[in-house]
Amino acid sequence: MITSSSGTETPAAAHRWQQWVEPWYLAYALLGVAAAGLVPILLPLAVSRAGGASNAGLVVAAFSLGGLAAPVWGGLADRYRLHRWLLTGGLLVASAGLAAFPFATSLAAWMGLALAQSIGVAGAATVANLFVVEAHPQAEWDERIGWLQTFYGGGQVAGLLLAGVLSSLDLRIGLLVAAGLTAGAALSAWLTAHTPPRPATATPRPVLLHPARPGEWALVSPQRLFHHLTLDTLRQLGPVMRSPFAVFLAIWLLTFGGAATVFALYPVLMQQAYGVAPGLSSAGFAVAAGLGLALYTPAGRWSERLGPARVLRVALAVRLAAFLGLLGLGLTHASSAAWLALLAFLFVVLAWSLLSVGGTALTARLSPVGQGEGMGIFNAVTALAGVVGAALGGWVAGQWGYNAVSGLAAGGVGLGLLLIFLFRLPPR
């Protein structure tokens, strides 16, 4: 027998992972391989080789922009009960955008196809969460979506490792592989997913106990896409802008946007500034992402014991030190720069576990318009920071070189850390 947090005993069998996993989770894992593993490596590499760093930043920004369409897909699914069609259709749109990308030759075409890919990913990710919350009781949401995140995160790690292999080949082959995997995800979703029955009452947008676990950079985690903005939320921006929550959002915009400048150009930056081949940088990213998943549980305990603001400060200090280390390595041209750069980037990724937990907890505590609405605003700011950071990073790299990207990231994180101390966010 296992004792629950409420003091009641439940059978151990009730906690077996098989209870929480459904066949269509395979489609989500394949989406993780393509969208979170292959695309972040192959897309900037392909564009930078053909059109330079500035174009790469704009294309990655376009890929991030489609996440803001999440409210449209959630609304269509709720109103017309199109869950299965939208999940499959979103995956097919993403697959088509990936398949056509290797044959595009202009910036406009690259950006249009990247936007189509991200709109498809956003549609699939938003609707996938609805399969959970509309088909199962609220008490099971966190456990089931936690497993859904685990499948996506596992796919992400596998995709990063695969990207390391494919990056040594023709990048067009890698993008076509990503398209094929996404098409396979669409087939799996069509065969295994079923639109849930219409709920008797309007289904609330849940505020999950566990924050998004897949790593976030310029490409926003699918769990963030689920907590989308509504018109009612936008009407409540007045109270938000007059509260400490606005200060926190400004800090988040600076720090997440600063980091996004590096993540958007990661494989190109590692190769050009530190001499790290794409295969090795992809493997390093995979190791960091895998280790980061193990930090969420400790981060939750630290947040409860020390307070989310302290956890956030520590995480930002770690990221600032890592970005300053990357900047120093690029400026000094150290003989061991490649391995030291990978080590510094490891800490950048590991800090995300603390940032995710601390940021989500602070949103719940500081939001003056309720947790659900506050989470929607928080995630919109996250998406906006990813778009702006990716575009700005590409422009800075094109104007002043890749070391300037690390400097810009350090500047954004450092300024955000300074604001935390100046405005004294609640420690607990």
- Write down the pTM of the prediction: 0.89
Tokens of 202: 């309007």
Written as one string, the DSSP assignment of 138-193 is GGGHHHHHHHHHHHHHHHHHHHHHHHHHHTTS-HHHHHHHHHHHHHHHHHHHHHH-
d(CA 66, CA 94): 11
Please tell me the predicted confidence (pLDDT) of residue 379. Answer: 82
Closest among 52, 88, 26, 39 to 394, alpha carbons compared: 52
Does 195 score more than 70 pLDDT? yes
Please tell me the predicted confidence (pLDDT) of residue 428. Answer: 56
Does 279 score more than 90 pLDDT? yes
Whether 60 contacts 398, CB under 8 Å: no
14 versus 139: the higher-pLDDT residue is 139
Please tell me the predicted confidence (pLDDT) of residue 8. Answer: 44
Please tell me the predicted confidence (pLDDT) of residue 181. Answer: 98
Model confidence pLDDT, tens digit, residues 312-370: 999 999 999 999 999 999 999 877 899 999 999 999 999 998 998 888 888 888 888 77
Tokens of 376: 């929607």
292 versus 346: the higher-pLDDT residue is 346
Please tell me the predicted confidence (pLDDT) of residue 300. Answer: 84
Tokens of 8: 């009641």
Q: Find tokens 């409860």 and name the residue.
A: 304
Please tell me the predicted confidence (pLDDT) of residue 395. Answer: 96
Question: Is residue 4 very low, low, confident or very high in pLDDT (cuts 50, 70, 90)?
Answer: very low
Question: Is residue 116 very low, low, confident or very high in pLDDT (cuts 50, 70, 90)?
Answer: very high
Q: Which residues contact 222 (CB under 8 A, 6 or more apart)?
A: 28, 31, 121, 125, 126, 128, 129, 152, 212, 214
- Domain architecture of the chain: domains with CATH: 20-197+204-423 (1.20.1250.20)
Whether 68 contacts 225, CB under 8 Å: no
Whether 126 contacts 205, CB under 8 Å: no
Distance, CA of 109 to chain centre: 24
**Amino acid (one-letter) located at 112:** G
**Most confident by average pLDDT, 44-58, 146-160, 236-250:** 44-58
Please tell me the predicted confidence (pLDDT) of residue 427. Answer: 54
Whether 216 contacts 224, CB under 8 Å: yes
**Amino acid (one-letter) located at 298:** P
Question: Is residue 415 very low, low, confident or very high in pLDDT (cuts 50, 70, 90)?
Answer: very high
Helix (H, G, I), strand (E, B) or coil at 96: helix
Tokens of 185: 């995800």
Whether 122 contacts 138, CB under 8 Å: no
Q: For the chain, how many helices (H) and strands (E)?
A: 18, 2
CA distances for 66 relative to 108, 125, 144, angstroms: 15, 12, 26
d(CA 340, CA 89): 43
Q: Find tokens 């790690």 and name the residue.
A: 157
Does 196 score more than 60 pLDDT? yes
Question: Is residue 381 very low, low, confident or very high in pLDDT (cuts 50, 70, 90)?
Answer: confident
- Mean pLDDT score of the chain: 87
CB atoms within 10 A of CB 134: 17
412 versus 144: the higher-pLDDT residue is 412
Task: Average the pLDDT over 199-218 and give the result.
Answer: 60
Please tell me the predicted confidence (pLDDT) of residue 216. Answer: 62
**Most confident by average pLDDT, 6-10, 114-118, 197-201, 294-298:** 114-118
8 versus 403: the higher-pLDDT residue is 403
Please tell me the predicted confidence (pLDDT) of residue 109. Answer: 97
Residue 405: burial class (beta carbons within 10 Å; 0-12, 13-18, 19+): buried
Does 393 score more than 70 pLDDT? yes
CA distances for 308 relative to 206, 300, 378, 425, 426, angstroms: 21, 9, 15, 9, 8
Task: Average the pLDDT over 140-164 and give the result.
Answer: 89
Model confidence pLDDT, tens digit, residues 11-66: 444 457 778 899 999 999 999 999 999 999 999 999 999 999 999 999 999 998 88
CB atoms within 10 A of CB 238: 10
Please tell me the predicted confidence (pLDDT) of residue 239. Answer: 77
Q: What percent of the chain has pLDDT over 90?
A: 56
Does 100 score more than 50 pLDDT? yes
Task: Average the pLDDT over 409-413 and give the result.
Answer: 97
